[in-house]
Amino acid sequence: MTEAPAIILVRPQLGQNIGSCARAMLNFELTDLRLVAPRDGWPNADAGPAASGADEVLAAARVYDTVQEAVADLSYVYATTVRGRELTRPVVTPAQAATEMRGRGARSGLLFGAERSGLLTEELIFANAILTVPVNPAFGSLNLAQAVLLAAYEWHRAGDATPAAVLANYEAPAPHAELEGLIVALDAALVDAGYFKPPETVSAKRMTLRNLMTRPAWSAKEVRTLRGMVTALHNGPRVRRKE
């Protein structure tokens, strides 16, 4: 199995942002956090609270003086940036990067620049490719932890054998014979209520009724509940309403 990528924060400023990044990482099963020349040193007391319990990521974080040292053991490095286009590099989305990282079978890393200044060209040059999140061209203002979140999310997602949609608290649809009982009861109530008029509409109306009752795929319990409602409407006391 391909090892999860390292997240490398280059000259991060606020401890709070480092903590938020750790939290975003652990949400998606990334644990290798690397800090290059954090402005306020390391450890940083502001990081813990923002990590909201992702303390294991902070505790295992490694600190480096330079990008070069931080990426030394990595085979392929992506720099997340909207700048740095002066370099000739492939530019990929988070989804493409995730697929590539999974397929490559070697250790990868994702470089994130400082909060305001981003990555310098002399740091970017250590990257093999540029990762850019496709954002609103008129408003692209992801913060550090959000950029980490999206990259981590895509890594995690690429590992799924995409689970099909499932039903919460799923109950199998009732056997058609039970559904038929509901349809027959509703039909009888509607006959008595004069719904099937004029006569030439009967056949189309019956078809519609069956369609409406069949599509929801109600469970046996739900069908029984609906039969109870139909019985009440059919046989219960009638209060003549004012028109």
Element of type H or E holding 104? helix 94-104
Least distance CB 135 / a second copy (angstroms): 5
- Interface with a second copy by CB under 8 A: which range of 5-13, 35-43, 67-75, 86-94? 86-94
Cα separations (Å) of 140 from 58, 68, 132, 136, 172?
A: 28, 29, 11, 6, 45
Instruction: Give the pair of three-digit tokens for residue 146.
Output: 């959000």
Residues between 169 and 188 with contacts to a second copy, criterion CB under 8 A = 169-171, 186, 188
CA triple 72-90-18, angle to 5 deg? 50
Among 2, 13, 66, 93, which residue interacts with a second copy (rule: CB under 8 A)? Answer: 93
- The span from the CA of 221 to the CA of 69, in Å, is 64
- The span from the CA of 211 to the CA of 89, in Å, is 56
Which CB atom, from 65 or from 204, has the smaller least distance to a second copy?
204
- The span from the CA of 110 to the CA of 130, in Å, is 9
Report if residue 47 touches a second copy, rule: CB under 8 A.
Answer: no
Strand partners, 34: 8, 62
Q: How many residues bind a second copy (CB under 8 A)?
A: 76
Among 45, 65, 116, 166, which residue interacts with a second copy (rule: CB under 8 A)? Answer: 166
3-state SS, residue 79:
strand
Among 84, 109, 113, 118, which residue interacts with a second copy (rule: CB under 8 A)? Answer: 84
Residues between 210 and 229 with contacts to a second copy, criterion CB under 8 A = 212, 215-216, 218-219, 222, 225-226, 228-229
User: Is the CA virtual torsion 82, 88, 92, 94 positive or negative?
Assistant: negative
- Interface with a second copy by CB under 8 A: which range of 40-48, 64-72, 106-114, 129-137? 129-137
- Interface with a second copy by CB under 8 A: which range of 37-45, 70-78, 80-88, 104-112? 80-88
Which CB atom, from 69 or from 192, has the smaller least distance to a second copy?
192
Which CB atom, from 31 or from 66, has the smaller least distance to a second copy?
31
Least distance CB 146 / a second copy (angstroms): 6
- The span from the CA of 166 to the CA of 84, in Å, is 43
Among 9, 61, 150, 174, which residue interacts with a second copy (rule: CB under 8 A)? Answer: 150
- The span from the CA of 190 to the CA of 188, in Å, is 5
